[in-house]
């Protein structure tokens, strides 16, 4: 590393420390920043056995190790014609040629390129168009006047003869196996209406960076951002049924099309491979969203319009930290919510929870059912009597049975009068006053199963922000120990995301959905019953959502103690084996966690394949 680069990195580090912490870096982060600093100044790739996908050196190391230079056979039974839709306007010749050549280099040859030039005035753009005019794969149409992006795209769709259309910007680059991978996917999923891939960016220096390793189709994540983006392939008949791109939403026209398409079909397939390189420039949203800030405003508008089309009342907010969006559903009426809290003694802990609910909660229509499991201390019963006298919506259900978290909650759910259930640990404390309005708003949506908030430790670090299957074993929470104000990968700690599961420490679900899947599995007395429940909801066709705008403090199972006794370890091992036998596919392949990410560290890449 030269002195100039060292100086730039040092200056960047100082700026980052000032902006984020004003140099008052929390002690828990000292080690992290020390390691990062050493890694930067030595130019080393990776920290330990992990690679940070958002560090260019790490990502390019991984990309090189995972890019195969091989010849693909396209002897498929199903060989659809793919129409590449490319709008063109005043693009630099170098980038335009690279884009076209990356398509012509495809090993799957049954494709066409449909180019519409939107009255370019740049001579170098016109010259490139002339160079490729005679190519057998390419059809070029020229606008006499500038019609803007939506109409230009629609005119390209009009000349498309393919069964599917793929949308490509005029300065981006495709990997040579894109069409092979698409047709391979179509041969396995012939009913697919929409296919999308992972992507990265090419910076102004020509270096690959900022990869987006995406989840499988995630409807609530899609309302937080256009995570599908590039490469997008759609059945031509579907695009035409939708009327193509809408004029008036330029800047978010692709987002608008995707939202409208997902209202017509759920036959959506994800290829978890980097197949598309999105060009960054000083003017592009790929490099700096502030260059086209109007696109964010239009993005918010197309989400609002999508919700209106679906007959859903909701507010849409821009999240400035992540440049994504937050949807907050508005309830026409407040359904009765039953808050179920299992407890055994530790009256002070329970009172902290109850006091926070009664003093902070702005939602009016709820009841609390405390499930008393073998309490013995006088203070506990005094607390019960106090709250019974003070609050008409407070009751105690005595369950003098051996501890079984699943059975305790199932018993309380039968007694509950509410349309919505909240499973809540006694060692939690409400932080967000509107917690029920927001979580219940999500839970009553017809496609949603379980909803969970962000949970924080008392030191304001993250305890729960969604559950990833197969991470470190059966499952694990994402972002344990992260700072409360971190953004997270692709905004995961700021905006709602679909996850395979959420924790039972605070889990909100409609009672009818709880009953539909048979409640909690009583064979799982302590561990994984919440995960198993979420898996059952997925199996019933629902999705689960983590909503980080809602925060609670979680003091982490204080009343139960640690599972260190031999009998507790034996029980844990048995419950773990139960999960491995019941949910092997979900543990191996979490659809909401890209398979390129490590199963040992969340949203990191493994230096070597595991």
**Please, are residues 490 and 227 in contact by the beta-carbon 8 Å criterion?**
yes
Higher-confidence residue of 315 and 293: namely 315
**Please, are residues 23 and 30 in contact by the beta-carbon 8 Å criterion?**
no
Report the pLDDT value the prediction gives residue 10, as an integer from 0 to 100.
Answer: 53
pLDDT of residue 26 exceeding 80, the answer is no
Q: Where a domain ends, among 35, 65, 95?
A: 65
Report the pLDDT value the prediction gives residue 340, as an integer from 0 to 100.
Answer: 98
pTM over 0.85: yes
**Please, are residues 403 and 380 in contact by the beta-carbon 8 Å criterion?**
no
CA distances from 493 to 76, 485, 546, 553 (A): 42, 8, 9, 15
The number of distinct structural domains making up the chain is: 3
pLDDT of residue 36 exceeding 70, the answer is no
Angle at 223 between CA 56 and CA 492, to 5 degrees: 40
| Sign for the pseudo-dihedral over CA of 235, 241, 244, 248 | negative
* pLDDT mean over 391-403: 97
Report the pLDDT value the prediction gives residue 318, as an integer from 0 to 100.
Answer: 96
What is the Cα–Cα distance from 35 to 51, expressed in whole angstroms? 13
Task: Give yes or no: residues 428 and 508 share one domain.
Answer: yes
CA 77 to the chain's CA centroid: 34
**DSSP-derived 3-state class of residue 447:** coil
pLDDT of residue 38 exceeding 90, the answer is no
Report the pLDDT value the prediction gives residue 558, as an integer from 0 to 100.
Answer: 39
Of 68-82, 89-103, 359-373, 492-506, which range is least confident? 68-82
* pLDDT mean over 390-411: 97
pLDDT of residue 433 exceeding 50, the answer is yes
Report the pLDDT value the prediction gives residue 472, as an integer from 0 to 100.
Answer: 93
Residue 425 lies in a domain: yes
What is the Cα–Cα distance from 134 to 465, expressed in whole angstroms? 54
Report the pLDDT value the prediction gives residue 33, as an integer from 0 to 100.
Answer: 52
The CATH number for 114's domain is 3.90.550.10
Task: Give yes or no: residues 208 and 147 share one domain.
Answer: yes
**Greatest distance between any 2 Cα atoms in the chain:** 90
Report the pLDDT value the prediction gives residue 244, as an integer from 0 to 100.
Answer: 98
Residue 187 lies in a domain: yes
Task: Give yes or no: residues 227 and 370 share one domain.
Answer: no
Task: Give yes or no: residues 469 and 391 share one domain.
Answer: yes
Beta strands in 156-308 (DSSP E): 164-167, 173-174, 194-202, 208-212, 232-235, 268-279
Domain that holds residue 574: 338-606
Residue 8 lies in a domain: yes
Task: Give yes or no: residues 394 and 503 share one domain.
Answer: yes
Higher-confidence residue of 25 and 555: namely 555
Confidence tier at 577 by pLDDT (50, 70, 90): very high
Q: Read off the pLDDT of residues 220-233 as tens digits, 9 standing for 90 and up.
A: 999 999 999 999 99
Q: Where a domain ends, among 65, 93, 115?
A: 65
Confidence tier at 315 by pLDDT (50, 70, 90): very high
Q: Where a domain ends, among 22, 37, 65?
A: 65
Report the pLDDT value the prediction gives residue 608, as an integer from 0 to 100.
Answer: 79
CA distances from 268 to 217, 389, 487 (A): 7, 54, 28
Task: Give yes or no: residues 542 and 416 share one domain.
Answer: yes
Report the pLDDT value the prediction gives residue 565, as an integer from 0 to 100.
Answer: 65
Q: Read off the pLDDT of residues 122-175 as tens digits, 9 standing for 90 and up.
A: 999 999 999 999 999 999 999 999 999 999 999 999 999 999 999 999 999 999
Task: Give yes or no: residues 428 and 477 share one domain.
Answer: yes
Report the pLDDT value the prediction gives residue 568, as an integer from 0 to 100.
Answer: 80
Report the pLDDT value the prediction gives residue 358, as an integer from 0 to 100.
Answer: 98
Residue 294 lies in a domain: no
Q: Read off the pLDDT of residues 180-237 as tens digits, 9 standing for 90 and up.
A: 999 999 999 999 999 999 999 999 999 999 999 999 999 999 999 999 999 999 999 9
Report the pLDDT value the prediction gives residue 72, as an integer from 0 to 100.
Answer: 73
Task: Give yes or no: residues 35 and 118 share one domain.
Answer: no
**Please, are residues 35 and 29 in contact by the beta-carbon 8 Å criterion?**
no
Residue 298 lies in a domain: no
Residue 33 lies in a domain: yes
Q: Read off the pLDDT of residues 586-597 as tens digits, 9 standing for 90 and up.
A: 999 999 999 999
pLDDT of residue 492 exceeding 60, the answer is yes
- Residue 211: Cβ-neighbour burial (10 angstroms; 0-12, 13-18, 19+): buried
Task: Give yes or no: residues 221 and 135 share one domain.
Answer: yes
Task: Give yes or no: residues 86 and 177 share one domain.
Answer: yes
Confidence tier at 34 by pLDDT (50, 70, 90): low
99 cis-preceded (ω within 30 degrees of 0): no
Task: Give yes or no: residues 480 and 594 share one domain.
Answer: yes
What is the Cα–Cα distance from 99 to 168, expressed in whole angstroms? 9
Mean pLDDT of the chain: 91
Task: Give yes or no: residues 61 and 88 share one domain.
Answer: no
Report the pLDDT value the prediction gives residue 564, as an integer from 0 to 100.
Answer: 53
pLDDT of residue 409 exceeding 90, the answer is yes
Report the pLDDT value the prediction gives residue 32, as an integer from 0 to 100.
Answer: 53
Residue 564 lies in a domain: yes
Q: What is the DSSP letter of 72?
A: P
**Please, are residues 607 and 51 in contact by the beta-carbon 8 Å criterion?**
yes
* pLDDT mean over 51-72: 90
Residue 429 lies in a domain: yes
Report the pLDDT value the prediction gives residue 5, as an integer from 0 to 100.
Answer: 46
Of 42-56, 124-138, 331-345, which range is least confident? 42-56
pLDDT of residue 495 exceeding 70, the answer is yes
What is the Cα–Cα distance from 261 to 242, expressed in whole angstroms? 7
pLDDT of residue 363 exceeding 90, the answer is yes
């Amino acid at each position: 590393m030269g002195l100039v680069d060292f100086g730039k990195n040092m200056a960047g580090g100082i700026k980052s420390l000032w902006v984020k912490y004003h140099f008052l870096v929390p002690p828990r982060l000292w080690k992290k920043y020390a390691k990062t600093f050493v890694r930067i100044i030595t130019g080393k790739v990776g920290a330990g056995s992990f690679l940070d996908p958002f560090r260019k050196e790490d990502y390019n190391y991984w990309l090189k190790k995972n890019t195969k230079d091989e010849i693909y056979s396209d002897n498929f039974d199903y060989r659809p014609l793919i129409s590449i839709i490319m709008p063109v306007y005043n693009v630099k010749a170098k980038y335009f040629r690279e884009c076209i050549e990356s398509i012509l280099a495809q090993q799957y040859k049954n494709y066409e390129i449909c180019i519409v030039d939107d009255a370019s005035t740049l001579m170098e753009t016109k010259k490139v168009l002339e160079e490729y005019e005679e190519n057998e794969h390419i059809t070029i149409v020229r606008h006499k006047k500038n019609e803007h992006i939506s109409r230009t795209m629609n005119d390209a769709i009009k000349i498309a003869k393919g069964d599917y259309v793929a949308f490509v910007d005029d300065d981006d680059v495709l990997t040579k196996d894109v069409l092979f991978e698409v047709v391979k996917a179509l041969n396995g999923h012939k009913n697919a209406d929409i296919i999308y891939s992972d992507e990265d960016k090419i910076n102004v220096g020509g270096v690959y960076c900022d990869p987006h390793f995406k989840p499988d189709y995630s409807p609530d994540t899609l309302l937080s951002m256009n995570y599908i983006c590039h490469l997008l392939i759609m059945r031509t008949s579907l695009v035409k049924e939708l009327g193509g791109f809408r004029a008036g939403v330029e800047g978010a026209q692709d987002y608008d099309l995707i939202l409208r398409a997902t209202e017509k079909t759920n036959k959506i397939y994800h290829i978890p491979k980097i197949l598309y390189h999105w060009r960054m420039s000083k003017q592009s949203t790929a490099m700096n969203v502030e260059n086209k800030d109007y696109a964010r405003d239009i993005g918010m508008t197309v989400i609002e319009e999508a919700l209106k089309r679906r007959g859903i009342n909701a507010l849409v907010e821009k999240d400035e930290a992540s440049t994504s969006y937050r949807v907050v559903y508005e309830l026409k009426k407040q359904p009765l919510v039953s808050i179920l809290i299992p407890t055994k003694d530790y009256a002070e802990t329970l009172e902290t929870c109850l006091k926070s609910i009664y003093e902070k909660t702005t939602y009016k229509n709820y009841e609390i059912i405390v499930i008393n499991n073998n309490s013995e201390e006088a203070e506990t019963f005094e607390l019960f009597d106090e709250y019974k006298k003070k609050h008409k919506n407070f009751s105690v259900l005595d369950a003098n049975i051996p501890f079984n978290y699943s059975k305790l909650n199932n018993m309380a759910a039968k007694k509950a009068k509410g349309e919505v259930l909240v499973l809540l640990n006694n060692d939690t404390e409400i932080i967000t006053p509107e917690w029920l309005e927001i979580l219940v708003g999500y839970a009553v949506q017809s496609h949603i199963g379980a909803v969970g908030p962000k949970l924080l430790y008392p030191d304001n670090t993250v305890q729960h922000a969604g559950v990833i299957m197969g991470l470190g074993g059966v499952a694990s929470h994402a972002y344990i120990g992260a700072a409360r104000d971190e953004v997270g990968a692709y905004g995961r700690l700021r905006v709602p995301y679909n996850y395979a599961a959420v924790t039972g420490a605070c889990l909100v679900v409609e009672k009818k959905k709880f009953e539909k899947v048979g409640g909690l599995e009583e064979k799982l007395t302590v561990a994984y019953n919440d995960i198993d429940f979420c898996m059952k909801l997925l199996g019933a066709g629902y999705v689960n959502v983590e909503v980080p705008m809602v925060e609670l403090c979680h003091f982490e199972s204080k009343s139960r103690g640690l599972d260190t006794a031999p009998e507790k370890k034996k029980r844990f091992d048995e419950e773990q084996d139960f999960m491995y036998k019941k949910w092997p596919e979900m543990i191996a392949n979490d659809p909401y966690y890209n398979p390129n990410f490590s199963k040992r560290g969340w949203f990191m890449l493994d230096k070597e394949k595991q």
